[in-house]
Amino acid sequence: MSVKLKQFATKLKFLWASAVDLLFDFVLGTIWFTIFITLLTTGLPMIFVLGIGVLIVFLAVEMTRLSGYVERQRTAAVYEISISKPVRRVTKRTDGWKWFFQALIDTIDPVSWRIFLHHVLSMVLGSIMFGIWSGGVGLFLFVAHFAPGPWPWVVAIGGFVVLIAYIYAAGLLDRKVSPVLLGPSAKSELRHKVESLADARQGAVDAASIERQRIERNLHDGVQPQLVSVALNLGMAKAKIDSDPQAAKALIEQAHSEAKASIADLRQLARGIHPSVLTDRGLDAALSAVASKCSVPTKVTVEINGRSSAEAEAVIYFAVAEALTNVTKHSAATACTVAVKQVGEGSKLCRLVARIEDNGIGGAKEEEGLGQSGLAGMSDRVRASGGTLQIESPVGGPTVVTVEVPCES
C-alpha cells in the first residue's frame, strides 16, 4: 500500500470515528446537559429551603464524576486517546461532616465544571451535525419539489461536502479539547506531584525514625545486656583463673555461648534491615520463608516478571512480614493467603501489588493501627516508596491488606 493510500485510509478512519463520536455527542451530550441543567435549576432556587437545594447541587456536581468517566472511556474507544483521571482534591476532615466538605470541595473544583463544559460542547457539536444533515435533507426535498432537474443533485452534493467538512473539523476540535476538559490540568498535576513527593518524603522520615527506634530497642533489650554479661563473665573468669581454674573455665564457656547468641541476634537484626534471601533469590523465596514461620497456614503466590527495584521488593517483603505478624498475634485466623502480582507495563506504569487476606475475626482499623510501631512502619515505608496501603477489616472478617508500590524507585 502506497504512502498516499495509507494517509487516505487514515483520514477515512478518522472521519468515520468523528461521525460516530458526533452522533454520540448529540445523544449523550443532550442527556448529560439535560440532567445537570435540571438539577442545577432545581437546586439553586431551593438552596435556602432546609438545605435541600444544596444537596441537589451537590448531587449534580458528584454526577460529573460518573459522566466524566463515561466520556473518557468513549474518547478512548473512538479516538484511541487515553485521558488520565483528574486528580481529586480530598478533604482532611474525618468526622461525620466529611461528606459535606468533600462535596463542597468538588463543587468549587474547576474539574467538575470543565466536565460540564465538555458536555455542553458535545451537545452543541452533535446538534450542529444533526442540523446540517436534517437541513440538507429538507433543502434537497424542497428543491426537488419546486426546481426539478439537476438542482436537487447540486444541493445534495453541496450538502454532503459541507457535512463531511464539518465532521472532519468538529472531530479535530473534539480530539483536541476532550483531554483538556476531561483530564487533569497541568497545574493540578503539578500540585498533586508536589503533594505526593512531600508525603513520600515525610513517610521516608517517619520510616527511618521508626526503624532507628526499632534498632535501638533491639540493641538495648537484647544484644547490649548479652554483651555486658559476656564482659562480666570474662572479668570473673580472669579473677578466678589462678585460684579456681574449673570455675573460670565454666564462666568462659558461658561467655562463649552468650557471645554466639549475641552474634545470632545481630544477624537477625541485620536481616530486619534487608534480608539476604531477598537480595539473592527474590520475592518468591523470601516471602515463602516468611510464610513458613507464620503459625497460621499461609499460601503464597507470586506472579511477577523478573526482578523489580530493590526498594520495591523490600517494601513488599516487609509489608507482608508485618501483615503476617499481625495475623499471628491478633486475627485468630485458620488460613491466610498472600498474592503478589505485577500490573502495568513500562517503568512508569509498572506496579507491584501484594494482597494479604486472612479468615480471622477482623475489626482492625488503620487509624488505630497507625499508633502501633508495626503498622506505622508499614504505612510509612509504603508512603516513602510512592505507594498506597489499604486495610479492609470489617468486624467478623475477613481482613484484607493491599499494598501497591511502583516497580521502579
* Residue 21 included in any domain: yes
Question: Greater confidence, 275 or 33?
Answer: 33
End-to-end CA distance of the chain: 45
How far apart CA 24 and CA 70 sit, in angstroms, is: 12
Q: 228-250 burial string, b = 16+ CB within 10 Å, else e? A: ebbeebbebbeebeeeeeeebee
* Residue 191 included in any domain: no
Q: What is the pLDDT of residue 360?
A: 87
Q: Do 215 and 150 fall into the same domain? A: no
pTM: 0.50
Q: What is the pLDDT of residue 314?
A: 82
Tell me which residue of 147, 165, 167, 169 sits closest to 157, measured CA to CA: 165
Q: What is the total residue count of the chain?
A: 409
> What's phi and psi for 84, nearest 5 deg?
-65, 150
Tell me which residue of 265, 334, 260, 326 sits closest to 290, measured CA to CA: 326
Q: Using DSSP, state whether 390 is helix, strand or coil.
A: strand
Pairing between β-strand 399-406 and β-strand 336-343 as defined by DSSP bridges: unpaired
* Residue 255 included in any domain: yes
Domain count for the chain: 3
Residue 156 burial (CB < 10 Å; 0-12/13-18/19+)? middle
Q: Do 143 and 234 fall into the same domain? A: no
Q: Please write down the long-range contacts of 303-306, taking CB distance under 8 Å and 24 or more positions apart.
A: 303/339, 303/340, 303/341, 303/342, 304/340, 304/341, 304/342, 304/352, 305/342
User: Does residue 363 carry a pLDDT above 50?
Assistant: yes
Q: Do 175 and 52 fall into the same domain? A: yes
Q: Do 244 and 100 fall into the same domain? A: no
Lowest-confidence region among 68-77, 217-226, 335-344? 217-226
Domain final residue pick, 273, 307, 332: 273
Q: Do 55 and 34 fall into the same domain? A: yes
The average pLDDT across 100-115 equals 85
The domain that contains 248 carries what CATH number?
Answer: 1.20.5
Q: E-assigned strands of 220-345?
A: 298-303, 336-343
Q: Do 264 and 286 fall into the same domain? A: no
Which tens digits make up the pLDDT trace of 17-74? 888 888 888 888 888 888 888 888 888 888 777 678 888 888 888 888 888 888 888 8
Look up the domain containing 49 and give its range: 3-184
* Residue 211 included in any domain: yes
Tell me which residue of 115, 151, 158, 108 sits closest to 29, measured CA to CA: 115
